Amino acid sequence: MNLHNVEFIKSAAAAQGLLHDGVPQIVFSGKSNVGKSSVINKLLNRKNIARVSSTPGKTVHINYFLIDSVAYFVDLPGYGYAKVAKTERARWAKLMEIYFSSAGHIALGVMIVDSRHQPTKDDVTMAEWFKATGCRMVVIANKIDKVKNSEKERNLETIRQTLELVEDIKIIPFSAEKGTNKELLIASIDDAVKGWNDVW
């Protein structure tokens, strides 16, 4: 899969805008400001194809990028930003419910958490949604460049325990800023797309 061949397809804000066209989806999810857009930009080697915001909670749409005509990267709107209005929060919840209720199109769930902190309650809920779909899943412990070497192992273990991840779910220490372990994430994505194509 050529990650340089990328096309922005659309931004969806409601159920009728969601794509179900049989193309496997790689879904990126995480709380607001954790670095979802930065991870996508890093993978695609683009500075700003997925918008990187300095204002958390800015991405309120589901964004679809078609990669090399074989898979979508799906940038889900972030959750857990305290200052978001109740109506927006409700809209987000509804959109997520719809997205995950017809989740047969998810080839890989990429759940992004902050490697510096224990995952939040919202992170735990998101992990449960992914587990409930039965899709493949990988956890990205982002911003690892900000964690001391001596603390990395312990933080990764805290993430595994808090999200209650079984052994075969990988946690990849990652830096969207530096590109740390980018190739590991790309390998997981390639595997998932291959696995998908073998089944369908």
**Binding status of residue 176 toward ligand GTP by CB under 6 A:** yes
Within residues 90-149, the interface with ligand GTP by CB under 6 A covers: 142-143, 145-146
Q: Which of 78, 109, 119, 173 binds ligand GTP (CB under 6 A)?
A: 78
**Binding status of residue 37 toward Mg ion by CB under 5 A:** yes
54 binds, among Mg ion, ligand GTP, none (CB under 5 to 8 A by kind): ligand GTP
- 25, 160 contact by CB (below 8 A): no
Beta strands in the chain (DSSP E): 6-12, 25-30, 62-67, 71-75, 106-114, 136-142, 170-173
| Strand pairing report for 62-67 and 25-30 | unpaired
Specify the DSSP class assigned to residue 74: E
For residue 27, which of 55, 67, 57 has the smallest C-alpha distance?
67
Residue nearest to ligand GTP (CB): 78
**Minimal distance in Å, beta carbon 99 to Mg ion?**
16
Burial of 98 (0-12, 13-18, 19+ CB in 10 A): middle
Within residues 10-49, the interface with ligand GTP by CB under 6 A covers: 30, 32-38
- The region of 17-25, 36-44, 139-147, 152-160 touching Mg ion under the rule CB under 5 A is 36-44
Q: How many chain residues are in contact with ligand GTP, going by CB under 6 A?
A: 23
Residue closer to ligand GTP, measured from CB, 24 or 30: 30
**Minimal distance in Å, beta carbon 97 to ligand GTP?**
18
- 96, 56 contact by CB (below 8 A): no
**Sites of contact with Mg ion (CB under 5 A):** 36-37, 59
